[in-house]
Amino acid sequence: MIGSPAPDFTLFDSAKNQVSLHSLKGKKVILLFFPFAFSSTCTRELCYVRDNLSQFNNVDAAVLGISVDSLYTLAKYKEDQGFQFTLLSDFNKEVSRLYNAIYENWNYNMKGVSKRASFVIDRKGIVQYAQVLVNAGDMPDFEAIEASLAAIN
């Protein structure tokens, strides 16, 4: 996937607006797939982004958090945690599958849960970094994400 065009998509955000990847061309984009709002590791991951958002903003990067939660759940999660970046609902699991970032079978007999995965997309829409984690308890490699962002002009 690295070096290839990022698969385009359109999803609803937590404020019920449609967001398309192609509308962000010209910006650096970080896609952060995560299993579930309100879970411990997901909250730790997204609070890291919240607490370091200025460094992503300083390099002209848009952060998009994506999970299979409903947009209503994501709205409550965003409000409770004070996230100032976009959360997108992949309720139909289409985008998680496009990025090969899905557990078809997961804990407690749940089917179709986003894996913890991160992608950095350059201003032309090309994937420059990709990490899909097998263990949902692991955190993304934010140092590698930041290095990838820094390497993009």
Catalytic positions: 42
Whether 77 contacts 39, CB under 8 Å: no
Phi, psi of 121 (to 5 degrees): -120, 130
Pairing, β 61-67 against β 28-33: parallel
Q: Amino acid letter at 86?
A: T
Cα–Cα distance for residue pair 119/64, rounded to 1 Å: 10
The sign of the torsion formed by the CA atoms of 40, 36, 34, 46 equals negative
Distances (CA, A) of 142 to 30, 41, 83: 11, 14, 17
Whether 23 contacts 101, CB under 8 Å: no
Containing 64, the helix (H) or strand (E) segment is: strand 61-67
